[in-house]
Amino acid sequence: MPYTAPTDEHLHLLRSVLDFDRVSSTEKFADAGDDMVAAILSEAAKLAQDVLAPLQRPGDLEPAHLENGVVRTAPGYAAGYKAIAEGGWVGAAAGPEHGGMGLPLTITTLVGEMMSSACLSLSLNPLMTQGQIEAIEAHGSDDIKALYLPKLISGEWSGTMNLTEPQAGSDVGALRSKAVDNGDGTYAISGQKIFISWGDHDFGGNVCHLVLARLPDGVPGTKGISLFIVPKFIPDAEGNLGDPNSLRVVSLEHKLGLHGSPTAIMEFDGATGWMVGPPNGGMAAMFTMMNNARLGVGTQGLGVAEAAYQKALEFALDRKQGKTPVDGGTGTIADHADVRRMLLTMKAQVAVARAIIMDTAISTDLANATGDASFKTRAALLTPIAKAFGTDTGSDVADLGIQVHGGMGFIEETGATQYARDVRVTRIYEGTNGIQAMDLVGRKLMDGGAAAFALIDEIDATAKNAPALKAAADTLRETTTTLLAADMNARFAGATNYLRAFAITLGGHYLTRGATDANRIALNAFYTAHFLPQVAALCVSATAGDALLYALDTDALAG
């Protein structure tokens, strides 16, 4: 289905809203000047539009399947992956010393958005590999780096992340997978993992699994977990593939969406693995993957939202029904007030989600380039907001897209439903959005709210001539103070609404800064009238405490 990469919006954000020059002026990212960034985004747009977008529908209709122990991927996926790898996109953010481009996370995130818009199922494959590259760069031994990084960065090999087990779910510390020292620098890894995105494929090369497991003397909980790299084929020192390892795909999950992406149940039966990082340091190493993966998942939600909006807009500008209510209109349903309301709501949410995600990426780049702890703290605060609001936006916009289509939206052939089905899981994996919200009001407020108040101060500076934004910022500040005085379960009760209030307020900040022409001024006015008033109500709920949640006991819930 047609997709047009919104590179003009990307460049507007970088130049006029978020001051990307701060990143390109650092020594680390000095090559990422305006011309180079525009050229990179242009090339990524061609890949997304011309190569990946045509694979979106076939992957849904002819999904990946398991055939005699081999995962067979959807038609065209192998060629699409080859184009991604040969373009250097898998290792775009990786260090040049092992063949990567060394691009800022900001730019690779925009590339990720385009790829997610075009074909989310296939784009999940390089995203997993990119997370593995980052973990090995940060925690791998020199030997592991030398062997694995060039292959992963080139896309010749791919990577996965194996955390979840049937009995553990989000409680990673309850895992049962075990690792036994073989006495030769390797470990025997045994256990079962579920929900493994791209656990296998037929693209060739090796599939390298990062697996969390417990040593025999590992203490209970997360502190006793170690991380291991366990390849599908055991390579020699030069990276040539040897014997198959003792692991297999037990089955592929039957899912609501993302049919083109094989989600595997993996079985490890004494498989040979190598430790990544120190003993019992697995969670620290895995969080290296997970933090940026959370930003990546928020970007997936954004990508699907952009694509769903484009499809809904295309339909609305073509569909004629009823008398147009405005003079000089299009003569289509886009003239009708409620349809126009939905389209503007979609457009505004996409713009805000993109700005939050890009602000998070820029803060991360500045932290990496300068070593300034304040940027690291800022990125950490924004990450749960970016993940949760980005994926909520994906689901909200995809759902509105169906509504814009009317009855045709409920028909599979239209293609609108696929966006809603594909994006729904993004609100769940890499930490559910409820977990993101609890992280925001819990761990991220452990500094006494200093990081949150600093961000609210930035919003205040933008709101000097924007009374509605100023009111929202004041309410958010008061709510943050109230939550800091509450016990943790009361915070958790209001966490989701607090996160959304924070995101909406940030949205007013970005749209006000970016209102540089008539259309953007009009969009900001719509957002000010229809979104910013929600902050007050959300904050009332966020500070209501937890007592009302338990007023009905479990028997009454069933009654």
Give one DSSP letter per residue of 332-394, joined into a string.
SGGGSHHHHHHHHHHHHHHHHHHHHHHHHHHHHHHHHHH--HHHHHHHHHHHHHHHHHHHHHH
- HSE, CB side, 13 Å, CA atoms: give it for residue 141: 12
- Nearest Cα to 357, choosing from 25, 97, 45, 105? 105
3 state SS of 533: coil
Enumerate the β-bridge partners of residue 179. Answer: 189
The answer to whether 242 and 234 are in contact (CB under 8 A) is yes
CA–CA separation, 494 vs 141, rounded Å? 43
The answer to whether 246 and 121 are in contact (CB under 8 A) is no
CA–CA separation, 555 vs 559, rounded Å? 6
* Residue 412 Cα distances to 130, 261, 409, 418, 554, angstroms: 32, 19, 8, 7, 39
Query: Both tokens of residue 206?
Result: 């090796």
Packing angle between helix 534-542 and helix 467-485, nearest 10 degrees? 0
Q: Among 62, 253, 430, 458, which one carries the catalytic annotation?
A: 430
The answer to whether 410 and 402 are in contact (CB under 8 A) is yes
CA–CA separation, 105 vs 122, rounded Å? 20
Mention every residue, 6+ apart, whose C-beta is less than 8 A from residue 373. Answer: 367
Query: Both tokens of residue 172?
Result: 């990673």
Catalytic residue at 478?
no
CA–CA separation, 390 vs 332, rounded Å? 30
Q: What positions carry a catalytic annotation?
A: 430
